Amino acid sequence: MQVFKFQKNTANIPSSVVTIGNFDGIHLGHRALISAAVQEAKTRGCTSALVTFDPHPQEIIHSQQSVPRICTSSHQLRLLEEIGLDEVHVIPFTKELAQLGPEEFAFQFLIKRFDLKKLVIGYDFRFGKHRAGDFKLLEILSQKYNFSLEEVAPVQERSQTVSSTLIRQLIRKYRFAEIPHYLGRDYSVYGQVEQGEQRGKNLGFPTANILPGVTLALPEGVYVSKIKLAGKTHYGVTNVGKRPTFGENSVTVETFIFDFEKVIYGEYLEVIPLSQLRPEMKFSSVEELKTQIRQDIETARNYLDTNEPQPVI
């Protein structure tokens, strides 16, 4: 799968079936939409392409408001590639772009960008200034510029419409066991292991650290977690937060993996929260923190003895 940052001038444009949206989470509704585009492209002998935005449009339109993400950027791209897309086109969303009228938006980012044979959109897709563009406008444009158009219906599960909003609500309420019904997989935080300041190691609890790079939907706190690494499953304790005891400001996902001693900097780690143990706390001393970590580990192991199979070592 090729990933492109948007450029105004393009060359050698292949015939394409395109879908467009934010696609945070790549839930069952997104999968239905993207799979429809992929299958249509295969049928037509075309390239399948997805257009998305970075940052999230709402973070620009409402500049003081960050959008909690279900997926890190690297996780989103990994999931899109697994579905079978040929191309992902990332549009840097700006204040100027937010002021584009819907017809100009469609022309610049879809019609001019691609040799567009078919556009596949979700039932709730809106575009252009004030979200004024809709399916009816796209129908008019499809006749004018000779491409076909498909609107994919919402996916229903357990009498609810699958949506990123629903999944974010479940994450905030720690209802992790319910999420796979809508997401199609376990909810997780995925990213590359970064070398930190070795604080965990110095405390006697070395951690594998992920810098998410986005505002996570997962509340800050300490979790018992399942960890997937290099095709194997492990278990541990994960701290999501800013490490207030040490006066940090950026959110880090730090995981102490039980019975594990390998150096894994640069490898990709998937952390699946199973249950929140406690909120993140500021401790008055390092010794107080170490005592709490030992207690967290004991609580997590007790949870796993009751709720999970024995860890794979």
pLDDT tens, residue by residue, 253-303: 999 999 998 888 999 999 999 999 999 888 878 888 888 999 999 999 999
pLDDT tens, residue by residue, 143-174: 999 999 999 999 999 999 999 999 999 999 99
Amino acid type, 106: A
pLDDT tens, residue by residue, 105-118: 999 889 988 999 99
Dist CA 172 CA 302 (whole Å):
24
For residue 176, what is the DSSP state? T
Share of the chain above pLDDT 70, in %: 91
Is 188-307 in CATH node 3.30.1490.20?
no
* Crossing angle of helices 28-44 and 73-83, rounded to 10°: 50
pLDDT tens, residue by residue, 199-257: 656 676 889 999 998 999 999 999 999 999 999 999 999 999 986 555 556 789 999 99
- For the chain, state the CA radius of gyration: 22
Question: Cβ neighbours of residue 298 under 8 Å, at least 6 residues apart?
Answer: none
Q: Give 2-161's CATH code, choosing from 3.30.565.10, 3.40.30.10, 3.40.50.2300, 3.40.50.620.
A: 3.40.50.620
* Domain locations in the chain as residue ranges: 2-161, 188-307
Dist CA 216 CA 188 (whole Å):
11
